[in-house]
Amino acid sequence: MTAVEYKTVDGVAVLTMNNPPVNGLGANLRSGLADALDRALSDPAVVALVLIGAGRMFSAGADIREFGQPPAEGVAILPDLIDRIEACDKPVVAAIHGVAAGGGLELALGCHIRVADSKARVGLPEVTLGIIPGAGGTQRLPRLTGVAQALDLIVSATLVPASKGRALGILDEIAEGDLETAAVAAARTAAQSGAIRRTCDQEDALADARDNPGLYDDFRTKIARRARGMRAPYAAIQCVQAAVDLPFAEGQERERATFRDLVDGDEARAMRHAFFAEREVRKIPDVPADTAIKPIERAAVIGCGTMGGGIAMNFANAGTPVTVVETGDEALGKGLETVRRNYAATVAKGRLSQDQMDRRMAAITGTTDFEAIADADIVIEAVFEEMDLKQEVFRTLDRVCKPGAVMASNTSMLDIDKIAAVTARPEAVIGTHFFSPANVMKLMENVRGKASSHETIATVMDLSAKLGKVGVLVGVCDGFVGNRMLGPYTREAKFLLEEGAWPQDVDKALYDFGFPMGPFAMLDLAGNDVGWRIRKRQRAEKPSNLRYSHIADRICERGRFGQKTGAGWYRYEPGSRTPIPDPEVEEIIVQASKEQGIARRTFTAEEIVERCLYPLINEGARILEEGIAIRASDVDVVWMNGYGFPRYRGGPMFYADTVGVGRVYERMAAFHAEHGELMKPAPLLERLAKEGGRFGAL
């Protein structure tokens, strides 16, 4: 079957792109379009053309899978195909429904008229793939929208709704009725008028930028935080500037050279990996894609503390009524008040209307009566992290929940199987580990118990997507994937302090690597008391001879629990979140070095990064060996969405493949020799290193 269907309607050739699932502009579609173009242009009875998409959308752009592959022989590359369409002497109309993204929008920009369905969305999201629009987008878009708007759209990678696209000048018409009919009518009118408006010829919208050359630097300053460590946003700005400074053809050449330079680089490879990893993660090998999903029409959350309140907000945001259960009226009132304040803060920032807030608050009902959740389709328990307490809650849930309800625990560390064991329906029990703040963080670690049924798993994975989260299915173990790998990362960060580094040195090295903050700033934000409590319990239950740093305990003994107490690994001015190095902490650290008999020395940023990240990757290798995560890319998804691992480095396992598994193993082996058992290389790491293998190829 050809990827382009051809028909004529009233003298207008209608070319329908049909390349499921997203009309990606791969070689087959490009070649189909080129042939259909030949046919329409050589037919004297055809006066104009319409380009439309079959299925869900116009086009999601270039076929990302083709990047990094040799070009298909004998098939025009997308920029050339678009130039050819723009040069046509018969009017060409793009009829856009669903999405026109990236190369899909660039194709439409090369058409002479753009008609869209009212629900369509358009944009150039290439920078999220570590590249720039490379088929004329940086040259044509500013010619329609003006430079400031084009920079905003390209660098923010936003898909805007049709109404905004029309207001910005990207779209010429919003179709009232049937899209194809409207496009054919527009094509016929254009043919009759004889005038063809080519985007490449438009110059008016560029005039403002010519009078304001400081615009580009201002924009660079504006995006500095967001775009830290990335090349693509800055490359896009340069290309948009070229649209203003150079003739169209030269600007396009600049764009193409820049695109080629970026597309094979580490940043683009990592971000493509992230794109596909976040889609692959939805596929569970032993859970068939057609497994029945239970409808979630009513939800319940047990506990209205920070986590419970945040989880309830997710349901309310998604329009699902949710009942929150607390033990007493006071705790309930306090929890709901926090939720209200959270929403109010968003309204104050202008990101939510008062009306939306009211509707969301109305979707949340508080109660102290467990019987009130008897009709919930899913219940998420978010009480204190204690097994006895959780088991008690699940006994109650087993009694009150309706048959078929999913019973989930938000535990971040406890054994789901032990929780499920107290119920008569362990198949309905699963972990849904949200990250704090639960209404903001994208990650959900969905923890599969031994007995969790396929239906329970499929329902919770689907729920993650409906809540706008990225759900990753993981197995039961201490800390699951994320926190288990966080362990060696923060452990080594603390050992580095004993050996001579300061918290600010370690934090700077990891911030410069691309994390939003280093481990000590992160611990201060999360609160040091939780880890302290866990460490005390673990050391009492399982005494060990392995190396242990007492610095964190000393910090906590002084009540330095982090930002919330104004002091932790750093000190904080009242009302400020800026960490300030504190001589009191330095004293504790120096004392610890002395007690351990360690001669302090300085560390380079590279040493710090390797020392903290390679043990984290090593733990990831163990997690894969044990089957706790399904794929190395799932581990990457956890770290990019839950812990701020820079997306432009693709997550820890992809990063290991980038630097070379051999290098990671070699350093781990050296750390092992120097620091002992805790640094022992994982067998999988060793095997891959010896075979020259990659995590991505497992």
Q: Tell me how far apart the alpha carbons of residues 302 and 380 are, in angstroms, rounded to a whole number.
A: 6
Site string for ligand 3H9, 55-74 (x = CB under 6 A): -----xxxxxx---------
Q: Is 197 exposed, middle or buried (0-12, 13-18, 19+ CB in 10 A)?
A: exposed
Strand order in 378-381's β-sheet?
364-367, 322-325, 299-302, 378-381, 406-409, 429-434, 443-448, 470-475
Nearest alpha carbon to residue 352 among 439, 463, 415: 439
Contact between 33 and ligand 3H9 per CB under 6 A: no
Which tokens go with 291? Answer: 């497994």
Binding status of residue 102 toward ligand 3H9 by CB under 6 A: yes
78 scored as a contact of ligand 3H9 (CB under 6 A): yes
Q: Is 165 in the site for ligand 3H9 (CB under 6 A)?
A: no
Q: CB of residue 91 vs ligand 3H9: minimum separation in angstroms?
A: 24
CB of 118 to ligand 3H9, least distance (A): 17
Span interacting with ligand 3H9, options 18-26, 487-495, 607-615, 629-637, rule CB under 6 A: 18-26
Q: Rank residues 187 and 200 by Cβ distance to ligand 3H9 and give the closer one.
A: 200
Mark the segment that binds ligand 3H9 (CB under 6 A) among 123-131, 375-383, 451-459, 532-540.
123-131
Residue owning tokens 């597309």? 263
Neighbouring residues of 7: CB distance < 8 A, sequence distance ≥ 6: 13, 14, 16
Binding to ligand 3H9 by residue 268, rule CB under 6 A? no
Nearest approach, Cβ of residue 239 and ligand 3H9 (Å): 11
d(CA 239, CA 261): 13
Nearer to ligand 3H9, 110 or 310 (CB): 110
Residue of 126, 172, 267, 398 interacting with ligand 3H9 (CB under 6 A): 126
SS (H, E, C) 270-293: HHHHHHHHHHHCCCCCCCCCCCCC
Residues 313 and 301: beta-carbon distance below 8 Å: no
- Other Cβ atoms less than 10 A from the Cβ of 212: the count is 12
> Shortest Cβ distance from residue 236 to ligand 3H9 (Å)?
11
The nearest distance, CB 294 to ligand 3H9, in angstroms, is 21
* CB atoms closer than 10 angstroms to residue 343: 22
Cα distance between residue 146 and residue 202, in whole Å: 11
Q: Does 24 bind ligand 3H9 (CB under 6 A)?
A: yes
The least CB distance from residue 101 to ligand 3H9, in Å, is 4
State whether residue 6 is helix, strand or coil: strand
Q: Does 270 bind ligand 3H9 (CB under 6 A)?
A: no
255 interacts with ligand 3H9 by CB under 6 A: no
Distance CA 696, CA 280 (A): 12
Instruction: Candidates 4, 16, 106, 186: give the one binding ligand 3H9 (CB under 6 A).
Output: 106
Rule CB under 6 A: choose which of 197, 279, 359, 533 binds ligand 3H9: 279
CB of 100 to ligand 3H9, least distance (A): 9
Site for ligand 3H9, residues 130 to 159, rule: CB under 6 A: 133-135, 137
Cβ proximity to ligand 3H9: between 47 and 129 the closer is 129
Query: Please, what is the minimum distance in Å from the beta carbon of residue 337 to ligand 3H9?
Result: 36
Query: In this complex, which beta carbon is closest to ligand 3H9, that of residue 140 or of residue 560?
Result: 140
Is 126 a known active-site residue?
Answer: yes
125 in contact with ligand 3H9 (CB under 6 A): yes
Round to whole Å and give the CA distance between 304 and 346.
20
Q: Is 297 a catalytic residue?
A: no
Provide the minimum distance between the beta carbon of 463 and ligand 3H9 in the complex, in angstroms, as a whole number.
16
Among the listed residues 305, 483, 445, 461, the one whose alpha carbon sits nearest the alpha carbon of residue 389: 305
Contacting residue, 12, 95, 129, 397, with ligand 3H9 by CB under 6 A = 129
Residue nearest to ligand 3H9 (CB): 102
Q: Near ligand 3H9 by CB under 6 A, which window of 95-103, 381-389, 450-458, 510-518?
A: 95-103
Give the number of residues in contact with ligand 3H9, rule: CB under 6 A: 25
**Is 260 or 359 the residue whose CB approaches ligand 3H9 more closely?**
260
Taking the complex as a whole, the smallest distance from the CB of residue 81 to ligand 3H9 amounts, in Å, to: 10
Cβ-contact 559, 565 below 8 angstroms: yes
Taking alpha carbons only, the member of 449, 484, 479, 522 closest to residue 385 is 479
324's enclosing H/E stretch is strand 322-325
CA atoms 606, 608, 609, 612: torsion sign? positive
Beta-strand pair 99-101/121-123: parallel
In the set 5, 66, 73, 106, the catalytic residue is 106
C-alpha dihedral sign at 302, 303, 306, 310? positive
Should residue 22 be labelled a site residue for ligand 3H9 when binding is judged by CB under 6 A?
Answer: yes
Binding ligand 3H9 (rule: CB under 6 A), the pick from 103, 303, 310, 431 is 103
Which residue is catalytic, options 5, 66, 126, 686?
Answer: 126
CA distances from 484 to 152, 616, 634, 640, 657 (A): 39, 9, 14, 15, 21
Query: What amino acid positions are annotated as catalytic residues?
Result: 106, 126
Residues that bind ligand 3H9 (CB under 6 A): 21-22, 24, 60-65, 78-79, 99, 101-103, 106, 125-126, 129, 133-135, 137, 276, 279
